[in-house]
Structure 1
Amino acid sequence: MTDVDELAHWFPSRAEIELRPGGTIKFGGDPNMEDSTGRVIAVEEPRHLSFEWGGDELHFDLEALDEGRTRFTLTNVLDAENTAARNGAGWEVCLAALDAHARGERYEEPHAGAEAPWKGVYDSYVAAGFPSGAPIPGVDA
């Protein structure tokens, strides 16, 4: 959750994290978005990390299960309601990439950007009634 090289396998942006409450996170490397910064809200190694990004709060939690397995929970507290379908679809694609990486498999599709396989997932969220309409980086001008 905090190693820049590991995050590159699934997180939608390069994230360099100053790992302490109040620390800065630098997001960059996405050609569809301007570089930005966020603020670390909480760190409880190795179980919890939360931070602000683009007005949203992101909470990452790890829970040890049996047989060496770990449950990963991502909570995205939205700043704007109309981002629900967009963010949900984006995180679904990113988490598929994380799942593949955790199993030692290569995720052949891009996990971020306009070429990621999010469109069908996004359409299903919209059809299910999730709030939508927020601009999509790399797609909407």
Structure 2
Amino acid sequence: MTTGTYAEIDGRPALRFVRDYPHSRERVWDAVTDPTELVAWFPARVAFPGIGEPEPGATVRYSFAEDGDGGTGTVVEHDPPHRFTITWAGDELRLVLEPLAGGGCRLTFTALLEDRDTAARTAAGWEVCLEALDAALAGSPVGGPGTGPTPAWRRHYDDYESTGVPAGAPIPGA
């Protein structure tokens, strides 16, 4: 089942995912910003070279266990424990945490895409990643996602494509 929605934001193709967690904003903040916790769900290893705490304008370095360099990006916004925005390969990744009335918090993850035809491919990838985040926050980490298509990724991709989310970009590892 897909959980993301496709839209155009500021003239760019975008994907939005919303997750509610029974955890505090601070706990989820750590899971979505701390490089030692990102390994449980983010598709690349993340480092902020030369700084302890990310700050706007700082470089973000991405790397992969299988093939090394994943490029660099920039910290756009860092407002703990509410907003964190980074760039990666032409995309902008926005994470917003809001407290819920009954406790816990809501994570709204928005990916502004560089290219429209990558939407279904990217949505499927973030579904797999967010499922790993869900598991990690539930105390049952499944290990970080890989870089190639898996059966779960393929199922999500087919779901997104069948609902009309733009597709057509090459699929790495396929």
**Any unmatched runs of 5+ in structure 2?**
1-31
Residue matched to 1:111: 145
Verify: 1:29 aligned to 2:64, yes or no.
yes
**Any unmatched runs of 5+ in structure 1?**
none
AA at the equivalent of 2:88 = W
> 1:1-141 maps to which residues of 2 (within 5 A)?
1-17=32-48, 18=51, 19-31=54-66, 34-107=69-142, 111-116=145-150, 117-139=152-174
- What's the offset of the Cα at 1:29? 1.6
After TM superposition, the score normalised by the length of structure 1 is 0.89
Count of residues in correspondence between the two structures: 138
SS at match of 1:74: strand
CA contact 2:40–2:141 (8 Å) conserved in 1: no
Distance in 2, matches of 1:32 and 1:86, equals: 20
SS at match of 1:104: coil
After TM superposition, the score normalised by the length of structure 2 is 0.73
Higher relative contact order at CA 8 Å, sep ≥6: structure 1 or structure 2? 2
Distance in 2, matches of 1:33 and 1:56, equals: 20
- The structure in which a higher percent of residues are strand is 2
SS at match of 1:31: coil
RMSD, aligned CA: 1.8
